[in-house]
Amino acid sequence: MEPGRCGGGGRGRSFNIPPQKEPDMGLLRPKSTQVSGMEESRSPQTSSCPAVPCLPGEKILAWAPGVRKGLEPELPGTLICTNLRVLFRPQGWQGRQDSVLSSDYDFALSNIGRLEAVSGLGRPQILRPGTLLKFMPDEILIHGRDFRLLRVGFGEGGLEPLAFRVAMAILQARAQNSQAQQYEGMTLNKASCGLGPSEPPVPLLETLDDWEAERRKHGARGWRVSTVNERFDVSTSLPRYFWVPRRTLDNEVRKAFGHFHQGRGPRLSWHHPGGSDLLRSGGFYEASDPNKEDIRAVELLLQAGHSDIVLVDTVDDLPSLADIQLAHLRLRALCLPDAAEEKWLSGLEGTRWLDHVRSCLRKASDISVLVTSRVRSVVLQEQGDRDLNGLLSSLVQLLSAPGARTLHGLQTIVQQEWVAAGHPFLTRLGGSGGSEEAPVFLLFLDCLWQLVHQFPAEFEFSEFFLLALHDSVRVPDTPTFLKDTPWERAKQNGQFSSYNQVHTSGSPQSPVGNLVPRPLTVWDWGLRYSHKEILQFYNPYYEPHHCSDSYPLKEQPTPVSPGPPRSILHFSRGTLTPLTQLCPWRDGFSSLLSSSRWLLRHNASSDSLADQEWGLPPHWGPSPLPPGLLLPGFLGPQIKLWRRCYLRGRPEFQMGLSAPTVSGLLDELAQLQELLRAHLKTKDPETPLSPSR
């Protein structure tokens, strides 16, 4: 059978979906013209297919008229499949001239988890290449891996012929899609693309000036920006620049980093205003044979000028990557519309997703206590330093620093601790086709939602911003989340010899004046969301005075000739234990330390380290709660399911979720009034609510 065509008579026929071949879409392949830097595609066959602003290199493969179902009111429109995404355009849809993606109806091909066909009251049939259809479906169900669901019905005509072609095109486009290769890049004017003129631009941390500005903002006077990795010759997974102690030389840094896994040595993540420093590092490469000078350099980096050091074993108490992936798969299966209702809560418990959220929050709380209870160097150590280190470092900053809880603060943390730090987004989100998929970043967003839910007045952003960030990890228009390393992003950006310009309203039509070409990033919300939608990113309950850091600033002096640290502790499984030396190799100066350090007993109860006298010896006495520190609850019902995210495919579970903003309430009121007008118009056209009056 020719690809894209169906044969035979009425219901009960069988249709064979061909295996992975290029579909014959010659009649539907659109002509393209440049419109404000985007390709606008329209089928030459008929005017029923709406004009669609396309990404560079994007082509429409197939389309079919249909009706979006499952939500009220039902919307007539067109289902369109391209080589990058599947989108639904409602009838009369008016897109922004400078907007490529719709935040509600676009599904990147990599985001489609399952495609189903439904006929009448029968069970849905999963569609795969080579599937034999035994009925004429009435609806297509597109299940997003981000828990969204798009139901499109096609009336009495079923899927013949255009709708059948678009279903087959989706299958084959998914099989052939590779986001890493499809993206060709877009650039745009720096102005008017973020959250608004009142918000400063998010530092991309790609230049020396960005890192220096952030260092000054943190008040980290004992640190400097190192350029040792400027050409990515120390580590391709590290950023070009990072912070190291001021008195260390780049030559020492280069030698020291060579003794850590993947060349990811200790470097500063965040300087606490009280004087402590939070560092992150890969695991020691114990097979190396460093000389005394190299060991000395390693210990100076870990000590960071402090007399007290805590090495945190990141992976202890936390789920493995395989555990996170399995829990997420179980959660997605549980939240499908056809999931069994019986014993749903026990099924949720069986996913262990909330257990993983709980363990992450608990460990982040303990580390926050270690950072704030006294001036010290706290080093997060993970073998690869690219997954759970980023999660814990981000949560610690959000728990300890009120400034991190603003919209700008959160975006900066994600850019620094995840994007610039080399979190393998493409691999962890399943875009590379490998077996190392694990949505660590989505686990972090769930932890953050728990904090917003527990402390509604402490965060400037709402859960709608977290949803937007959650749904942006698989959009096909930016390299922010589509690359594994900073080196890959730099290589991609350097290959742009010519740019497809995206001009915002009011900007000049040629790259002159203040137009600075730069790659599109996920932080350019103005290209994907309307001003009205962006307003919902802000939390109406936020109290700005909470953002004022009242912590007394302290600066830990770096001695001219640092001596051995006074205290070296190892934090693992809720317990602080003393170490006799800082590094696993011999001949380090810390091996001269005695082992007569105090040892905390592990608390087997549900209390966190914060409940154990702030993790301090009893003779130090209790410490008051530091200003700005949040200690979340993580016991039993305190950890909740993120319903607005995970149950989006089940509208019946969305009932009762109150509108979080005044604009949201006005929207709901307008919708109710419109439905009432439509109902009364059929009853009595002279009613006071009738449009004629």
The contacts of residue 668 (CB under 8 Å, 6+ apart) are 659
Lowest mean pLDDT among 108-112, 228-232, 418-422, 595-599: 595-599
Mean of pLDDT over the chain? 76
Q: Which structure tokens are listed for 43? A: 């089928």
Per-residue confidence (pLDDT) for residue 300, from 0 to 100 = 92
Per-residue confidence (pLDDT) for residue 245, from 0 to 100 = 96
Per-residue confidence (pLDDT) for residue 337, from 0 to 100 = 77
Mean pLDDT of 573-577: 88
Distance CA(86)–CA(169), nearest Å, equals 10
Per-residue confidence (pLDDT) for residue 665, from 0 to 100 = 59
Decide if pLDDT at 356 tops 90: yes
Mean pLDDT of 589-615: 41
Distance (Å) of CA 536 to CA 404, 505, 667, 671? 19, 22, 12, 18
Decide if pLDDT at 618 tops 90: no
Decide if pLDDT at 4 tops 80: no
Per-residue confidence (pLDDT) for residue 655, from 0 to 100 = 57
Contacts of range 540-546, beta carbons closer than 8 Å, 24 or more positions apart: 540/462, 540/660, 540/661, 540/662, 541/456, 541/457, 542/457, 542/458, 542/459, 542/460, 543/457, 543/458, 544/460, 546/402, 546/405, 546/457, 546/458, 546/628
Lowest mean pLDDT among 302-311, 395-404, 572-581: 572-581
Given a contact cutoff of 8 angstroms between Cβ atoms, the answer to whether 399 and 413 are in contact is no
Beta-carbon count within 10 A of 683 CB: 8
Phi, psi of 473 (to 5 degrees): -70, -15
Mean pLDDT of 656-664: 53
The contacts of residue 602 (CB under 8 Å, 6+ apart) are 573, 574, 575
Given a contact cutoff of 8 angstroms between Cβ atoms, the answer to whether 382 and 421 are in contact is no
Phi, psi of 69 (to 5 degrees): -120, 175
HSE (CB half, 13 Å, CA atoms) of 167? 38
pLDDT interval class at 412 (50, 70, 90): very high
Per-residue confidence (pLDDT) for residue 178, from 0 to 100 = 55
Which of 9, 107, 92 shows the shortest CA–CA distance to 48? 92
Distance CA(619)–CA(624), nearest Å, equals 15
Mean pLDDT of 235-248: 96
Decide if pLDDT at 191 tops 50: no
More confident position, 282 or 95: 282
The region, left, alpha or beta by phi > 0 then psi within -120 to 50, assigned to residue 633 is: beta
Which of 186, 214, 80, 253 shows the shortest CA–CA distance to 503? 186
Three-state SS string across 590-658, please?
Answer: HHHCCCCCCCCCCCCCCCCHHHCHHHCCHHHCCCCCCCCCCCCCCCHHHCCCCHHHHCCCCHHHHCCCC
Per-residue confidence (pLDDT) for residue 404, from 0 to 100 = 96
Q: Which of 44-53, 469-478, 613-622 has the highest mean pLDDT?
A: 469-478
Lowest mean pLDDT among 57-71, 262-276, 392-406, 604-618: 604-618
Three-state SS string across 542-579, please?
Answer: CCHHHHCCCCCCCCCCCCCCCCCCCEEEEEECCEEEEC
The percentage of residues in the chain with a pLDDT greater than 70, rounded to a whole number, is 68
HSE (CB half, 13 Å, CA atoms) of 638? 15
Q: Which of 173-187, 306-320, 526-540, 600-614 has the highest mean pLDDT?
A: 306-320
Per-residue confidence (pLDDT) for residue 493, from 0 to 100 = 72
Per-residue confidence (pLDDT) for residue 94, from 0 to 100 = 62
Q: Which structure tokens are listed for 679? A: 């109902």
Mean pLDDT of 323-327: 96
Which of 192, 198, 166 shows the shortest CA–CA distance to 85? 166
Per-residue confidence (pLDDT) for residue 1, from 0 to 100 = 37
Which residue type sits at 345?
L
Distance CA(668)–CA(102), nearest Å, equals 21
Using one digit for the tens of pLDDT, what is the confidence trace for 66-93?
A: 888 776 678 888 889 988 889 888 877 6
Q: What is the DSSP letter of 201?
A: P
Mean pLDDT of 407-423: 97
Q: Which structure tokens are listed for 223? A: 């640190």
The percentage of residues in the chain with a pLDDT greater than 90, rounded to a whole number, is 38
The contacts of residue 510 (CB under 8 Å, 6+ apart) are none
Using one digit for the tens of pLDDT, what is the confidence trace for 277-294?
A: 999 999 998 778 888 889
Distance (Å) of CA 143 to CA 537, 647, 648? 25, 12, 10
Element spanning 269, H or E: strand 267-271
More confident position, 384 or 193: 384
Residues forming beta bridges with residue 16, ordered by sequence position: 132
Decide if pLDDT at 656 tops 80: no
Lowest mean pLDDT among 25-39, 396-410, 539-553, 569-583: 25-39
Q: Which structure tokens are listed for 179? A: 């986001």
Distance CA(92)–CA(529), nearest Å, equals 18
pLDDT interval class at 342 (50, 70, 90): confident
Which of 188, 30, 31, 177 shows the shortest CA–CA distance to 99? 188
Per-residue confidence (pLDDT) for residue 77, from 0 to 100 = 86
Distance CA(32)–CA(55), nearest Å, equals 11
Decide if pLDDT at 310 tops 90: yes
pLDDT interval class at 8 (50, 70, 90): very low
Task: Give the length of the chain.
Answer: 693
Lowest mean pLDDT among 440-444, 471-475, 608-612, 622-626: 608-612
Mean pLDDT of 179-205: 64
HSE (CB half, 13 Å, CA atoms) of 398? 33
Distance of CA 182 to the CA centre of its chain: 20
pLDDT interval class at 250 (50, 70, 90): very high
Residues forming beta bridges with residue 284, ordered by sequence position: 260
HSE (CB half, 13 Å, CA atoms) of 662? 2
Decide if pLDDT at 248 tops 80: yes
Using one digit for the tens of pLDDT, what is the confidence trace for 134-185?
A: 677 778 888 888 888 888 888 765 556 777 788 888 888 887 765 444 444 5
Distance CA(218)–CA(690), nearest Å, equals 59
Using one digit for the tens of pLDDT, what is the confidence trace for 255-267?
A: 999 999 999 999 9
Alpha-helix runs per DSSP H in 53-178: 162-176
Per-residue confidence (pLDDT) for residue 93, from 0 to 100 = 65
More confident position, 656 or 453: 453
Mean pLDDT of 198-224: 93
Mean pLDDT of 340-365: 91
More confident position, 423 or 130: 423
Distance (Å) of CA 686 to CA 150, 151, 681? 38, 37, 8
Per-residue confidence (pLDDT) for residue 43, from 0 to 100 = 41
Using one digit for the tens of pLDDT, what is the confidence trace for 487-529?
A: 998 887 764 333 343 333 333 333 333 444 567 788 988 877 8
